[in-house]
Amino acid sequence: MRLVILCHGIIFTLLAFVGLPAQAFIPPKGLPRSSYHQLAPPAPRIASSSLRMTIDPSSIPLAENTGTVLLLAASSWVSPAKAVIEPLLDLGGVAFLVRIVLSWYPQVDLNKLPANLIAWPTEPFLSVTRLVVPPAFGVDISPIIWFAFLNFLREILVSDQGILTLLQQK
């Protein structure tokens, strides 16, 4: 039951993020669960040729209360979001990469310049990660975890095949 509530919460949060009303995706009250499949829209008609497939846009049903199509709504927030997210992910990746290199030199005092410029902003993230993943064999792997996570996010969101880049090109 908790998993269902968690999934619904995630779905409604994502819908609110892209600007679609959640009411368009909630089945009517009093409808038995076994008849939910009857609410599904019909499959779009697909016209195919030997080299490419095209979908007839008129065959794709839209919810009544959406107001705007997702791609049109995306054009207003994708570019500013990408302009903010990309430099933050790059800066965070560089900061954690420098923090990995600083971990190789234990004699460096992280509370003095210039090391504190990197240590102070990254330490809150690393201290929480150290509680979950303790150092392995005396090696602190928390900066490696954050570096990998930020690079993963960068690839998923803003790389050439990232979600925001593809939405921006539409």
- pLDDT exceeds cutoff 60 at 154: yes
Residue 79 CA to residue 77 CA, distance in Å, equals 6
Name 108's Cβ contacts closer than 8 Å, sequence gap at least 6.
102, 115
Predicted local distance difference test score (pLDDT) of residue 14: 55
pLDDT tens by residue, 20-65: 444 545 555 665 655 555 555 555 555 544 445 555 555 555 554 4
Enumerate the domain spans of the chain: 2-59, 70-169
Predicted local distance difference test score (pLDDT) of residue 87: 94
pTM of the model: 0.56
pLDDT tens by residue, 69-126: 555 555 688 889 999 999 999 999 999 999 999 988 989 999 999 999 999 999 999 9
Tell me the backbone φ, ψ of residue 139, rounded to 5 degrees.
Answer: -110, 125
Per the CB < 8 A criterion, the answer to whether 129 and 146 are in contact is yes
Predicted local distance difference test score (pLDDT) of residue 135: 86
Residue 48 CA to residue 54 CA, distance in Å, equals 6
Residue 132 pLDDT class (50, 70, 90 cuts) = very high
Paired tokens of 163 = 């979600």
Paired tokens of 25 = 């995706």
Residue 136 pLDDT class (50, 70, 90 cuts) = confident
- pLDDT exceeds cutoff 60 at 19: no
Predicted local distance difference test score (pLDDT) of residue 139: 86
For residue 155, how many other CB atoms are within 10 A of its CB? Answer: 13
